[in-house]
Every structure is written in C-alpha cells, then in structure tokens.
C-alpha cells in the first residue's frame, strides 16, 4: 500500500503499483498521496477501529494530502477479487471531478478495500508540514490566512511565508472571493502528533461529554485542566440562548467583565455540529476559536443545547 505518512502537503497523480488496484480502476484517476490516506484508514480498520470524520481528517494530515477528504467507503472481497460496489462509487466520484485514493489491505479473511475522495478547488504548490523557524515556505495558487500559535490571524497574499516562532500554526487557503479551499496544520520546529486532538466519540449528556473531550484535548497539549466554574456556566448559558435563537451573542469580554471577571484574560468559543466530538473537532480547526484550547485559563464555563437536530456548545473562560 502507499505510505500513510508524508512530510510535504502535495499530490501525486499516477498509476498504482498494485496490479489488482490498477485492474479495478481501469482508466479512473488515482493519486498516491490520497491513497496514503486510504492506506492509513485501512490499517485502522484492520486493527478493529472505526474511524470517524475527525480521524479521517487526521489521516489526511499524516499522509500530507493538502485538500479536504470528503468521503470514505469500504468493501471486503475474497483475495484478488474486485470490489464491484466501490468501483461504481469511484466512477461516480470521478465524474463529479473528485480526486480518488484506493487501496486494498489483506487480512486473514480476504481483502479490505478502502476508497476515499477529495475535491481540489485550486492547484496549490507543495507545502512542508514541519518547516523550521526561518525556513522560507512558498505559498502559491490561492490567497492565504495564517493563525499563529497564540491565535493571532494574518492575511497573506500569494507569495512566501517565513515562520518566526515554533509551534502549531493553521494555514487556510481560499479563493479571491473568500471561498475556502483547505485548512492545514503546520508544525513549525516540532513533529506532527500521530493521534488527532479529538480521538473518539464521547458518551453521556452533552455537557459532561464535552467537558471530557475538552479535558482530553488539554492533555493532548500537555496543559493542566481549568476548574469548571458555575458563574461562568451562567454566562455560557446566556450566550447559548442567543445562539439557539440564531442570533449573534454579545461580546464575551463585556459579559464576563459585568459578571466580575476583571483584570484577567477572558475568552469564548462556540460550535454547532451533529455530535459532541464533531463540535470539539470543529473548534480545533477553526481559525477563530482554535486558540481557546491552549488558553492560560483558571476557570471555564460551558452550556449545551439543541437547535433543531444540531448540538450547540457555548464556552467561556477566564484566567
């Protein structure tokens, strides 16, 4: 199978080395880097895991595939048999303009086939995932937004970027009209974690599950866990009411100052998704809220509610 680990975000359209995969694809396009994403997922599945959307996304990071992975399908066959259902899926995705990754992994019971697909809205140049401080990184093919390790955001035109500090950055590429092409974590001067910040779905009531996952992300960053504060919970509930009504809540800073949190750093975040884990994963990938996880907080408040069939989480914090 193609390598599930890469170092440079790029694509590599070519023919697969596996003759059975070549026979399955016939004239369909195939990308080696995207197939590295499929290979990593095949390894997860063969080990008994059931990858969720956030795990699929992280496999894209590890393989250094630069575009969003939009879907995955699997099929089991006897050894060397073709996956008829996946072939039809691949044809449909290719006709819709998708890039394809396809691999087969072997188990004691036959072949496991994994198909993934991705849409490329622009042709980006190669981007190193782990550059050094001071290394020149060429950014071509789009306009870019950078989020530094402290959460500061920087607009960059097409050109070059020279990272000036180590740590975890987030790079967004978008069209001139502002349409998002992709978001890529960049680990300056440090290795890429093998596991994603959110690693599994959570059980229990939404607030309890969200707090459990928030705790696990703080552990992922090797940071201490703040206290859960009833006063901040109350502020989070006020903000949640606005979010559930489809309104933009008042600025958290003013609300927290009014609640007595003076002369300390304050922050807020919110997310909407179908599950708690997807909501927490969404925060990590957000250019606006991702620094919330790494804040030097002494206390955090949380409120959860439903808007239709979607979960809404409201967070506030104070140092």
Q: What is the dihedral of CA 197, 150, 148, 180, to 10 degrees?
A: 60
* Average pLDDT taken over every residue of the chain: 95
In-domain check, residue 168: yes
Pair (145, 224) in one structural domain: no
CA 160 vs CA 171, 201, 218: distances in Å: 13, 38, 32
Residue 301 covered by a domain: yes
- 241 and 305 within one domain: yes
Residues 13 and 112 in one domain: yes
Q: What is the pLDDT of residue 137?
A: 97
Verify that 183 and 230 share a domain, yes or no: no
Q: Which helix (DSSP H) or strand (DSSP E) does residue 305 occupy?
A: strand 299-307
pLDDT tens digits, residue range 236-246? 999 999 999 99
Instruction: Report the distance separating Cα 240 and Cα 303, nearest Å.
Output: 7
The answer to the question of residue 197 being in a domain is: no
Residue 100, H or E segment: strand 99-107
Rounded Cα–Cα distance for residues 30 and 17 (Å): 11
- Does residue 1 lie within any of the structural domains? no
Are residue 114 and residue 145 in the same domain, yes or no? no
Paired residues of 128 in beta bridges = 8
Q: Are 87 and 36 a contacting pair, CB within 8 Å? A: no
Q: Tell me: pLDDT of 6 over 90.
A: yes
Do 211 and 312 sit in the same domain of this protein? Answer: yes
State the residue for tokens 């390790």.
149
220 and 280 in a single domain? The answer is yes
Residues 206 and 255: their CA atoms lie apart, in Å, by 24
Q: Are residues 153 and 222 in the same domain?
A: no
Please give the tally of structural domains in the chain.
3
196-206: average pLDDT: 91
Mean pLDDT of 165-184: 95
Q: Dihedral sign, CA of 152, 156, 162, 167?
A: positive
Residue 230 tokens, joined? 């009833």
Residue 250 gets the label, from left (phi > 0), alpha (psi -120 to 50) or beta, of: beta
For residues 80 and 139, state if they share a domain: no
| Residues 174 and 114 both lie in one domain | no
Q: pLDDT digits over 82-127, tens only?
A: 999 999 999 999 999 999 999 999 998 999 999 999 999 999 999 9
Is a pLDDT exceeding 90 seen at residue 263? no
* Cα distance between residue 42 and residue 110, in whole Å: 13
- The residue range of the domain holding 105 is 8-118
Task: Give the domain CATH number at 160.
Answer: 2.60.40
| φ/ψ (deg, to 5) at 132 | -95, 160
State pLDDT tens for residues 22-55: 999 999 999 999 999 999 999 999 999 999 888 9
Does the structure show a pLDDT above 90 at 257? no
pLDDT digits (tens, 9 = 90+) for 278-318: 999 999 999 999 889 999 999 999 999 999 999 999 999 99
Confidence (pLDDT) at 11: 97
Answer whether residue 80 is part of any domain.
yes
DSSP per residue over 107-147, as a string? ETTEEEEEEEEE--SS-PPPEESSPPTT--EEE-SSEEEEE
The pLDDT value given to residue 308: 94
78 and 148 belong to one structural domain: no
Q: Are 2 and 41 in contact (CB under 8 A)?
A: no
Residue 265: inside a domain: yes
Residue 263 lies in a domain: yes
Q: Is residue 40 part of a domain?
A: yes
Residue 260 has pLDDT above 90, yes or no: no
Same domain, 114 and 136: no
In this predicted structure, the answer to whether residue 259 has a pLDDT above a threshold of 90 is no
């Amino acid at each position: 199978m193609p390598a599930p680990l890469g170092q440079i975000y790029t694509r590599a359209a070519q023919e697969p080395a596996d003759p059975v995969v070549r026979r399955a694809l016939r004239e369909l396009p195939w990308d080696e880097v995207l197939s590295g994403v499929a290979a990593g997922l095949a390894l997860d599945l063969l080990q008994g895991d059931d990858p969720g959307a956030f795990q699929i996304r992280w496999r894209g990071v590890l393989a250094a595939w630069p575009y969003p992975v939009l879907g995955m399908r699997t099929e089991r066959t006897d050894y060397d048999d073709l996956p008829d259902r996946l072939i039809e899926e691949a044809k449909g995705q290719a006709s819709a303009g998708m890039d394809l990754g396809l691999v087969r992994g072997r188990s004691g019971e036959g072949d496991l086939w994994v198909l993934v697909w991705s849409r490329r809205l622009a042709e980006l140049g190669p981007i190193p995932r782990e550059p050094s401080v001071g290394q020149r990184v060429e950014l071509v093919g789009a306009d870019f937004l950078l989020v530094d390790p402290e959460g500061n955001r920087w607009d960059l035109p097409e050109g070059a970027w020279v990272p000036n500090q180590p740590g975890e950055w987030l790079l967004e590429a978008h069209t001139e009209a502002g349409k998002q092409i992709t978001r890529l974590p960049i680990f300056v001067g440090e290795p890429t974690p093998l596991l994603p910040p959110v690693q599994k779905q959570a059980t229990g009531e939404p607030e309890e599950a969200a707090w459990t996952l928030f705790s696990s992300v703080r552990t992922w960053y090797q940071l201490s866990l703040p206290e859960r504060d009833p006063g901040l919970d109350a502020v989070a509930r006020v903000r949640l009411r606005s979010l559930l009504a489809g309104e933009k809540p008042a600025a958290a800073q003013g609300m927290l100052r009014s609640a007595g949190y003076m002369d300390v750093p304050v922050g807020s975040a919110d997310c909407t998704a179908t599950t708690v884990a997807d909501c927490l994963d969404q925060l990590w990938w957000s250019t606006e809220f991702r620094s919330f996880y790494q804040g030097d907080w002494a206390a955090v408040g949380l409120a959860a509610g439903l808007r239709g069939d979607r979960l809404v989480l409201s967070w506030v914090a104070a140092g």
